[in-house]
Structure 1
Amino acid sequence: MSESPIAAAPVTPASPAALVEPFFDPATSTVTYVVHTGRGSVCAVVDPVLDYDPKSGRTSTGSADRVIAFVREYGLTVQWLLETHAHADHISGAPYLKQQLGGKIAIGEHIRTVQGVFRTVFNLGDTVAADGSEFDHLFKDNETFHVGPLTARAMHVPGHTPADLAYQIGDAVFVGDTLFMPDVGSARCDFPGGDAHTLYRSVRRLLDLPGETRLFMCHDYPPESRGPAFETTVTAQRRGNIHLNDSVTEDAFVQMRTARDRTLAMPNLILPSIQVNIRAGRMPEPEANGVRYLKIPLNAL
């Protein structure tokens, strides 16, 4: 974590600066962000992480507690807990942060599609309604909202999953899993409802934003030549993204992405993560013995 918030250029002369504080979780390569306008302001938290040990089945809150400490140190008020999608590589820390700090848990309205698919995979029955009601708010494409004085917009960018959103907050865009850093490329498209053609078009929508727009990644899987990095720009992506720069056609991308996805194993935490994250990060109810249980479907994925 950096020592102080990272200042952004104002969108217009009258706009406040969007300040972004990143928290990198090396266990899942996930970046959580706090977006605010300075001490004592309102903030949003993007893609919070709950720590989970798959060997023991134990959860812990170290990653989320770092976010809480920062929010309290700067006297921030949490307005939003924003999920870019139902993650397959970490369990959401949003319910814990809401309990500690308040705020509304929000995701895109197409989470209903993802809930419907995985309710069947995990045989969850009535424990998941598949209507998005587990979340406090479902964003529509291009819906505008505010983070204190900052104007924000939800952008539907499917392809990795049917429900992915990017959040444009001031001059900063939190892209979820549509893009990685330029030297890493793009996210897989072989999850249920994923589609490489759709992802290409979603990325082009993001890359049509002004060149100086700051893009913040949800993950980084760095090559050995560098450490973790998660901030770039539209211009840098258009020039240098190894999968999706301006010289790459849709057909070429789809051919590459489809071939690459055939070689990839499932994420380590997909089975525990998805069944929790489609519930807005809430764990299953305890059984008669007081213990909560996650399901592991055999030969289903």
Structure 2
Amino acid sequence: MSYLPDNQRYSTMIYNRCGQSGIKLPAISLGLWHNFGGADVYENSRAMIRKAFDLGITHFDLANNYGPPPGSAEETFGRVLKSDLRAYRDEMIISTKAGFYMWPGPYGEWGSKKNMVASLDQSLKRMGLDYVDIYYHHRPDPDTPLEETMAALDLIVRQGKALYIGISNYREERAREAIRILKQLGTPLLIHQASYSMFNRWIEDGLQDILQDGGAGCIAFCPLAQGLLTNKYLKGIPADSRAAKEGSFLKEKDVTEEKIAKVRLLAELAAERGQSLAQMSLAWVLREGKVTSALIGASRVSQIEENAAAIQNLDFSSEELTRIDDILKS
């Protein structure tokens, strides 16, 4: 039976303008970093992508190295696009990235024009696309001149292989310089993808202001601190959690009793707000209007449903914000 998306999908989602562009992104976007690779169950990945679209999540975020194995998340997404979503391509924002290791030799990672162009050609082939909506440089390159990397992104837009460009994991001054170079080239920076959560607030120390001044949006990855800001770890480390998985950035050593004590207090506040801890954590990331979209991951459909419902209560009182700050500082 062919897939038909929910015809009420656009009435249930909030869309925020991305910087000074014409693009609006859903307040909640879906990232395919984990659980969409060749090592995962395809039908589960497919069900999550379809449910996200049903809920008005129009933005799907990928990268060349997502899997495992690397490249396979794009292949999975391409299969779902072909079987279910091809007719709705123009309703979707599809992004991918390059910069991390993908193939042997000197051209298989970082930020050279060679790598950026070749990697996108591979990504388009894996997904069965003519273009992506957003193409990111995934991480700063300490050796390639920033002018070369930004010129590559500008070239790719002019070639029609991407509509907009972004950067990810850039610190303040390098982001400022990227914005300046791209403005001169005539292809402005659309968006910066940065890690941001209650436990990781570094972008508040200047990056948010740089992006606002430069007319760029911001999308937050790991807004739930890889699951730490959910109910998952309140009673220890589950065997199926990210902290227990080999290769995860969230390690058992990160799930300290001190952090769990804070998580328990945050969960109490979330319950008072009528939200799960995950929902409140997403609302908090979006609270000041400086973050265009919160990028969620998921391992099952119910998590997408829960996280998308965060938009039903995005308002915080000053007392609630003070209480959160006090918990985090304790």
Give the TM-score normalised by structure 1: 0.38
Q: Which has the higher strand share?
A: 1
